[in-house]
Structure 1
Amino acid sequence: MAALPVVLNVSHFYGEVLKMPLGVMGLIFIAARTIDAIQDPVIGLVSDSFTHRGRRGRLVFVALMLPLLIGGFYMLFHPPAAILTQHTMLAVWLFAALFVVHLGYAGVSISYHAHGAELTDDYNERTRVTVGREIFGLLGMTLAVVLPTVLTGRFGENQGYAYMGALFIPIAILFAMPTLLWSPPSVHPPVRRENPEIHVRYFRDWLVGLAPRLARPTRTMEDNTAFRALVPFFAPLKNRLFRRLLLVFVVNGAALGVAVSVMLFYVEHVLKGNKLQAGIILLVYFGAAALSVPMWLMLSRRYSKTVAWFIAMILTVGAMSVAVFFGAGDFALFVPVAILTGMGIGADYGLPPSVLADIINSEEGKDTRGDTGAYFGLWALATKLATAVGAAGSLPVAALLGFNPSRGEYGNFALVVVYVIVPVAIKVVAAVLLWHIRVEAERGSVRDEMLRRR
């Protein structure tokens, strides 16, 4: 519930309601998101250190970071009345609130996901954990779509957003308590890093092999304090299955980043829909994602997790391709497309974290086995990278092709290309990668699994 308003509503609240200059707001977003991305691997290591407090130690870290998440979210939508007309103070407030909410969100989500990955070592049970978790996550996103629309419509923009920030406090506490009080403990022992020099030698040899011209500088890396400090952050990259999973995940996630950034534009200008219809599309989208999760669990049991994920990619490609032919007045025809693509998102959210949980404790992990927090720190960084790459590339391409509202240009062809054609092409690339390369620790590639069953 916290993630979506920070992405969708903050820019509207500060730009349209509070009249902050868009240039200043853009710089604040870039700075805050850069810090957010850098801190993820560090938070992963901190989460690992809390495993020495017991098998529920990661949840202690979650409890410590939860007040930051709640407080930062409240700050975003409830700036003091005294600074609303002072753009400098309002900009400082926005940056501070974004910093706090990003820190709290990263601390809670990374340690929470890492604890979930350690609840079981069973192949199918891990998928049950991840898909069960993502159902609640998608329901939270649905709530984040409904609340701003209802509250701002009833109380006005300023007061409505303030009420949303206040309502988040009891909701966050209420839904956090069952996890913090009654979640089962981890089945893994505390994380121990007794031989960090192994990581240093590995990266020295890897860099030398990757770029021979770096051979001379890397000879002294073992004695470089800064390098030794950075190495643990990226130690999970030693796991080749993790590198492959990240490749597919980032490519696949870029497609979602492209589509989400222009989705509302597509509904408004291509389908000629209103705000209510745009809200309906978002509700259908996330609702279908949540309801489809049990189906992906069943398919992953019958075939494999990557096969189920591959099927979801093909389903999304087929459904999205139909949207090329839609135009004004085709809102009703677009709803089934939103349902099918939402089902694909259910697989995108539920299956890759389960594959990751298998990879962390695989033989390929070697001396990084059990460093769950470090893995999920890099995973969070990759998630943000995928979304940022998609979002950063979509709007400039749309402007180049003729959709630029600031200049009065509303070319529908540009939106069709960016919302449909580009994401479909990226999804096809992700599906081809998943078909050919082996990602799972206990299963072959999608091609091997499907041909073997056939």
Structure 2
Amino acid sequence: MNRGPTGIGAAGSARIKFDRLVAYSTLQLPLAMAALPVVLNVSHFYGEVLRVPLELMGAIFIFARVIDAIQDPLIGLISDRFTHRGPRGRLTFVGLMVPVLAGGFLMLFAPPGGWQDNQTLMAVWLVAALLLVHFGYSGVSISYHSHGAELTDDYNERTRVTVGREVFGLIGMTVAVVLPTVLTSLFDDAHGYTILGLLFIPVAALFSAPTLLGAGPSVHPPVVHAERNAFVAFFAPLKNRLFRRLLLIFIVNGSALGVAVTVMLFYVEHVLVGTKVQAGVILLVYFIAGAASVPMWLVVSRRVGKMAAWFFGMLLTAAAMALAVFVGPGDFHWFLVLSIATGVGIGADYGLPPSILADIINAPESGDTRGKTGTYFGLWALSTKLATAIGAAGSLPVSALLGFDPARGEYNTSALIVVYIVMPVAIKIVAAVLSWFIAVEPERGSVRKELTGRG
């Protein structure tokens, strides 16, 4: 690969104006609003309401994620090509993909009424809907996040970009929590989810407009890929040792959330014996805590470094989730307290890793892949989905194996405790240990060296 003149000077490190930052950040709201129901509500809707067996759904999720993973590097490469259309070229590609995302989301939550008694047809519909919504989501998110990484070259401004974006993302997650709860309470589950799919269309249009029209330009020149072999171009960022290390920690850590989110609604209903409204309140409090904590993690990262701040977030999340093993039926308020602590910890997961990635892309360790932002974010999106797939693939079959599968009338709550608490805590601890010993940030040591002063 080669790259044209950098063209990066004072503009690359200048403070981004607040209105530009807000305009860029708004699109993350519909992205998050789409992402959460796909991993949270789909398993409940198709498993509990439409009675698709959990083992079959696990296989479907794996298949859809594999196809999704294959397409992500290609989408990243296409995003890089769009940089030749001007400093907002990536946003042009985003604008083309937003309607695909909206259509796939509607398809996912509005299956044909006459098919609901046929598990085979519902499984085929689920596969097609997942493939479409994943394609749209990847097309939007990869190019959108790549553009965000190119808005500035300043270490702290990059964190400011990701924090602004993730604040809107957490608001979007909050909307994604409230709407299904309200709609399925006012209507039956099938009609409630259909209305959710319909409402997403105007939300996507409204919140994508400021980003497409008002986000700042990229401070980077157009990306030039010298390789003729697209496969080599796709995976060239893996030559960057810091990127490989970040991906390892990110995938391990992210799979914990994938496990927990997939069975969360089952857990609230059958272990806590809670209502739909209580499940909505738990998720709402969780994401509000996460959104409120993001600025705090920004402050912490400025004092101890981004990886060390992320490490503290992992520990906090693991500790809060572990304490949930002591709650049971009727302990709604105690679980609510733990959800606040867990949400604060998860805030670090949303705000810090993308900022670390932006630093790595432009570090000397990136070599001839330096500045190939779209390609990096294509692999980053692949790793995000791989983590989610690992979580879903592990949680649903393990739940069924241990005796929880609504399609078969099996409701062993011990299975949910293992899957919702024990597995995610163990995974979080592994991720924290990796970050303690492995150096990831450019020009910084491991978390152990940063916190103990060694190095």
Cα deviation, 1:13-48, whole Å, max 9, x if unaligned, reads 455556668787666544433321211111000001
Instruction: Give the 3 Å change call, closer, same or farther, for CA 85–252 of structure 1 in structure 2.
Output: closer
Q: Does 1:121 align with 2:156?
A: no
Instruction: Give the 3 Å change call, closer, same or farther, for CA 268–167 of structure 1 in structure 2.
Output: closer
Paired AA for residue 59 in structure 1? L
What SS does the aligned partner of 2:40 have?
helix
Cα deviation, 1:202-227, whole Å, max 9, x if unaligned, reads xxxxxxxxxxxxxxxxxxxxxxxxxx
Q: Which moved more, 1:403-412 or 1:418-427?
A: 403-412
8 Å contact from structure 2 (residues 61, 389) kept in 1: no
What SS does the aligned partner of 2:223 have?
coil
Instruction: Give the 3 Å change call, closer, same or farther, for CA 347–160 of structure 1 in structure 2.
Output: same
Equivalent pairs: percent with the same residue? 71
Residue 188 of structure 1 is aligned with which of 200, 220, 228? 220
Instruction: Give the 3 Å change call, closer, same or farther, for CA 437–362 of structure 1 in structure 2.
Output: same
Q: Does 1:303 align with 2:304?
A: yes
Q: Which residue of 1 aligns with 2:245?
A: 244
Over aligned residues, Cα RMSD in angstroms? 2.6
Q: Which moved more, 1:39-48 or 1:143-152?
A: 143-152
What SS does the aligned partner of 1:328 have?
coil
8 Å contact from structure 2 (residues 290, 344) kept in 1: yes
Cα deviation, 1:310-361, whole Å, max 9, x if unaligned, reads 1111111222222222222222111111111111111101100000000001
Return the offset for 1:426. 1.6
In structure 2, stretches of 5+ residues that fail to align are 1-32
Q: Which moved more, 1:163-172 or 1:176-185?
A: 163-172
Return the offset for 1:271. 2.4
Q: Which residue of 2 aligns with 1:149?
A: 181
**After superposition, where does 1:101-120 map in structure 2 within 5 Å?**
101-120=133-152
What SS does the aligned partner of 2:352 have?
helix
Alpha-carbon distance in 2 for matches of 1:180, 1:360: 24
Alpha-carbon distance in 2 for matches of 1:299, 1:452: 17
Q: Which residue of 2 aligns with 1:39?
A: 71
Alpha-carbon distance in 2 for matches of 1:49, 1:25: 36
Q: Which residue of 2 aligns with 1:62?
A: 94
Instruction: Give the 3 Å change call, closer, same or farther, for CA 260–452 of structure 1 in structure 2.
Output: same
Q: Which residue of 1 aligns with 2:355?
A: 354
Paired AA for residue 275 in structure 1? K
Instruction: Give the 3 Å change call, closer, same or farther, for CA 150–327 of structure 1 in structure 2.
Output: closer
Instruction: Give the 3 Å change call, closer, same or farther, for CA 269–94 of structure 1 in structure 2.
Output: closer
Cα deviation, 1:145-186, whole Å, max 9, x if unaligned, reads 111221222233333223222211111111001110010001
Paired AA for residue 425 in structure 2? V
Q: Which residue of 1 aligns with 2:272?
A: 271
What SS does the aligned partner of 1:105 have?
helix
Q: Which moved more, 1:12-21 or 1:334-343?
A: 12-21
Instruction: Give the 3 Å change call, closer, same or farther, for CA 13–355 of structure 1 in structure 2.
Output: same
8 Å contact from structure 2 (residues 437, 448) kept in 1: yes
Return the offset for 1:259. 1.9
Instruction: Give the 3 Å change call, closer, same or farther, for CA 89–403 of structure 1 in structure 2.
Output: closer
TM-score, normalised to structure 1, is: 0.86
Cα deviation, 1:386-441, whole Å, max 9, x if unaligned, reads 12112222334344445455565544443333322222222111111111111001
Instruction: Give the 3 Å change call, closer, same or farther, for CA 16–316 of structure 1 in structure 2.
Output: closer
Q: Which residue of 2 aligns with 1:435?
A: 436
Q: Which residue of 1 aligns with 2:452?
A: 451
Return the offset for 1:66. 1.0
**After superposition, where does 1:207-286 map in structure 2 within 5 Å?**
228-286=229-287
Cα deviation, 1:54-80, whole Å, max 9, x if unaligned, reads 111100110111111122222333456
Return the offset for 1:51. 0.6
Q: Which residue of 2 aligns with 1:74?
A: 106
**After superposition, where does 1:361-380 map in structure 2 within 5 Å?**
361-380=362-381
Q: Which has the larger radius of gyration?
A: 1
Return the offset for 1:100. 2.3
Alpha-carbon distance in 2 for matches of 1:22, 1:419: 15
Return the offset for 1:230. 1.3
Return the offset for 1:290. 0.9
**After superposition, where does 1:381-420 map in structure 2 within 5 Å?**
381-405=382-406, 409-420=410-421
Paired AA for residue 176 in structure 2? A
Cα deviation, 1:242-299, whole Å, max 9, x if unaligned, reads 0000111111112112222232333233323222222211111111111110100111
What SS does the aligned partner of 1:2 have?
helix
TM-score, normalised to structure 2, is: 0.86
Instruction: Give the 3 Å change call, closer, same or farther, for CA 436–171 of structure 1 in structure 2.
Output: same
Alpha-carbon distance in 1 for matches of 2:325, 2:52: 36
Paired AA for residue 92 in structure 2? V
Instruction: Give the 3 Å change call, closer, same or farther, for CA 428–90 of structure 1 in structure 2.
Output: closer
Instruction: Give the 3 Å change call, closer, same or farther, for CA 6–261 of structure 1 in structure 2.
Output: closer
Higher relative CO (Cα under 8 Å, sequence separation at least 6) belongs to 2
Q: Which moved more, 1:376-385 or 1:4-13?
A: 4-13
Q: Which residue of 2 aligns with 1:422?
A: 423
Return the offset for 1:385. 1.1
8 Å contact from structure 2 (residues 263, 395) kept in 1: yes
Return the offset for 1:192. 1.1
Alpha-carbon distance in 2 for matches of 1:41, 1:171: 28
Q: Which residue of 2 aligns with 1:223?
A: none
Alpha-carbon distance in 1 for matches of 2:231, 2:41: 35
Q: Which residue of 1 aligns with 2:209?
A: 177
Q: Which residue of 2 aligns with 1:165?
A: 197
What SS does the aligned partner of 2:335 have?
helix
Q: Which moved more, 1:438-447 or 1:169-178?
A: 438-447
Paired AA for residue 377 in structure 1? G
Q: Which residue of 2 aligns with 1:2?
A: 34
Q: Which moved more, 1:427-436 or 1:232-241?
A: 427-436
